């Protein structure tokens, strides 16, 4: 009977009739529904002007996103342990438990977009991989802090430059930096130079790309520093899908 009542309340909320704000058990079940259904229910409650939805709608949606991301992390870590990619006792290793805490706090505090979420997860998997030694773990900890400070657009510029580096699109030597902006914008598919230029300072400050000298920049390695190349190599190699397909 109790389960039927829960299902009834959840079904009502999914039709936009009621959001189970006060019933924590029903709310937990509600947040386990597909995101599109949660969005429909919250939107319906907001359109009807329900006071609780107006004050809590954003937190409900954020809660659903956080829950989805944390479940994904849990499932992926479990899979990688079962496959032998991560040690079962990874939390006992240096920074192992700390990196888990950092990753979960990152999700809880920021509800990151997909690109930043995947990048942070990937660095976590690198740090805790069976292949990683003590130097890798220390280096990875620094990379995790860098990733947490980058925007999705900055990550996009960085990985686009990395693909250009692998494909040898730039011949090297000095080039007007505006030409570099133009080429990266083309490769990203939006052709908006200002979007690339806007991210320059942060990528330079994090030592991921070479600093411009006046109007010119050295395009050796597509302008990536050794740190920028290493970070992108790790993001590529330790991406979850790549790990499970080894």
pLDDT cut 90: percent of the chain above it: 57
Position 66 confidence tier, pLDDT thresholds 50, 70, 90:
confident
pLDDT cut 70: percent of the chain above it: 89
**How far is 123 from 239, CA to CA, in rounded Å?**
8
Give pTM, 2 decimals. Answer: 0.82
Nearest to 95 by CA among 126, 71, 131, 118: 126
> Among positive and negative, which fits the CA dihedral 89, 103, 63, 243?
negative
Query: Which helix (H) or strand (E) element contains residue 18?
Result: none
What would the pLDDT profile of 177-196 be if each residue is shown by its tens digit? 999 999 999 999 999 999 99
Give the pLDDT mean for 166-187: 93
What's the pLDDT score for residue 64?
Answer: 81
CATH code 1.10.10 for 152-244: yes
Q: Where are the domains of the chain?
A: 1-65, 84-148, 152-244
How many residues comprise the chain? Answer: 246
CB atoms within 10 A of CB 182: 14
- Name the phi and psi angles at 86, rounded to 5: -125, 140
Contact 211, 204 (CB under 8 A): yes
**How far is 123 from 198, CA to CA, in rounded Å?**
25
What's the pLDDT score for residue 42?
Answer: 77
What would the pLDDT profile of 71-122 be if each residue is shown by its tens digit? 899 999 999 999 999 988 998 887 788 899 999 999 998 889 999 999 999 9
What's the pLDDT score for residue 171?
Answer: 86
**How far is 63 from 143, CA to CA, in rounded Å?**
27
**How far is 40 from 19, CA to CA, in rounded Å?**
11
What's the pLDDT score for residue 1?
Answer: 47
Helix (H, G, I), strand (E, B) or coil at 178: helix
Cα 8 from chain centroid (whole Å): 35
């Amino acid at each position: 009977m109790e389960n039927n009542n829960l299902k009834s309340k959840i079904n009502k909320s999914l039709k936009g009739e009621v959001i189970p704000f006060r019933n924590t058990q029903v709310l937990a079940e509600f947040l386990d529904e597909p995101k599109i259904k949660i969005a429909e229910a919250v939107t319906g409650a907001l359109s009807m002007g329900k006071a609780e939805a107006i004050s809590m709608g954003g937190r409900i949606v954020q809660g659903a996103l956080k829950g989805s991301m944390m479940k994904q992390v849990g499932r992926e870590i479990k899979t990688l342990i079962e496959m032998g990619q991560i040690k079962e006792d990874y939390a006992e290793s240096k920074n192992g438990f700390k990196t888990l805490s950092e990753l979960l706090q990152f999700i809880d505090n920021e509800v990151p977009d997909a690109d930043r979420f995947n990048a942070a997860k990937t660095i976590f998997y690198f740090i805790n991989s069976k292949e990683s030694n003590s130097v890798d773990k220390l280096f990875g900890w620094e990379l995790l802090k860098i990733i947490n400070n980058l925007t999705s657009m900055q990550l996009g510029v960085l990985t686009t430059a990395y693909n250009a580096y692998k494909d040898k699109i730039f011949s090297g030597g000095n080039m007007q930096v505006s030409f570099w902006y133009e080429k990266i914008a083309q490769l990203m598919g939006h052709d908006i130079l200002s979007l690339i230029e806007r991210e320059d300072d942060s990528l330079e400050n994090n030592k991921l790309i070479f600093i411009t000298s006046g109007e010119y920049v050295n395009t050796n390695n597509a302008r990536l520093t050794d740190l920028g190349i290493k970070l992108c190599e790790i993001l590529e190699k330790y991406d979850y899908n790549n790990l499970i397909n080894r």
